[in-house]
Amino acid sequence: MSIKLLIILANANFMTIISANIKFFRKKKGLTQQQFADQMGIKRSLVGAYEEERAEPKYDLLKNIASFFEVTVDDFINEEINEKWVPKPKGNPANLRILSISVDKEDNENIELVPLKASAGYLNGYADPEFVAALPKFYLPMFKQGTYRAFEIKGDSMLPLVSGTTIIGEYLENWGDIKSGETYVIISKNDGVVYKRVSGKFKEQKKLKLVSDNPVYEPYEINGEDILEIWKAKGYISTHLPLPTPEPTMESLTTMMAQMQRSISNLQAK
């Protein structure tokens, strides 16, 4: 078992520097976003996301970019580079947030499992390679492209998925790629690990509107500054097989009516 440092997620200041440096070097070389994207083997839209601080380059890509521009990774993420800049020796930055993954003997990326009992600790340990290494892990051959993590969910807000279901999520690098109506595992400072459906797009107001599939629960918004990670749901593991949709009961109809009345009241108030 080994740990691979996959991506550097810096604080806001680091991201501003990286964004500015990519744009500076690209223009200095006289490259359009498309030409630079072709050189790096990525999509043009991703270059735009990097330059607009909507996404962070993965570590391997960041190394390639720095090498292409003939600077060190350390300088590239720490120095605001312009025409007057002169490189100078530096140590490694001390306050980087690193997304780490584990790999097996064949260098296949494992899927780390974050069980319910580890959810609280994950907020502090998600960037700690030792914490990640200690998590249970498994490998599924159908998930070959991308980086995946599994999260055990709690509660009945996403029925018919019951409490204890494990959601397999793919790491979402560019939050601008969030699609309204799809489900994601959101890691945030205030709410911890939650699995919700997203309504709307993140780039509009730097917020996410999270919706439960169980209509008993009200939608709510979360600020982008509170979000630590986002994982796009790609599958789930459950010991409960799907059941036929039950006939509505008087109790469920009453609950739905109450939900509708609250929604109407909220709309009237606005």
Task: DSSP letter for 174, please.
Answer: B
What six digits make up the tokens of 248?
Answer: 């509505």
What six digits make up the tokens of 167?
Answer: 């959601």
CATH match of 2-78 with 2.60.40.1120: no
Is residue 34 classed as helix, strand or coil in its secondary structure? helix
- Identify the bridge partners of residue 97 per DSSP, sorted by sequence position: 9
Burial 229-248 (b: 16+ CB within 10 A, else e): bbbbbeebeeeeeeeeeeee
Residue 200: burial class (beta carbons within 10 Å; 0-12, 13-18, 19+): middle
pLDDT at site 217: 93
pLDDT at site 109: 80
Cα–Cα distance measured from residue 220 to residue 255, given in angstroms and rounded to the nearest whole number: 19
pLDDT at site 216: 92
Stretch 228-256: mean pLDDT, rounded? 80
Average pLDDT over the chain, rounded to an integer: 81
- Report pLDDT digits (tens) over 14-66: 678 888 999 999 999 999 999 999 999 999 999 999 999 888 887 778 888 98
pLDDT at site 86: 67
CA angle 1, 174, 132 (to 5 degrees): 20
**φ and ψ of 226, to 5 deg:** -90, -10
* CA 136 to chain CA mean position, Å: 20
Helix axes 33-40, 59-68, angle to 10 degrees: 110
Hey, where are the domains in the chain?
A: 2-78, 101-237
Give 71's pLDDT tier (boundaries 50, 70, 90): confident
The answer to whether the CB of 3 falls within 8 A of the CB of 129 is yes
Cα Rg of the chain, angstroms = 21
**φ and ψ of 112, to 5 deg:** -80, 140
CATH of span 101-237: 2.10.109.10
pLDDT at site 95: 35
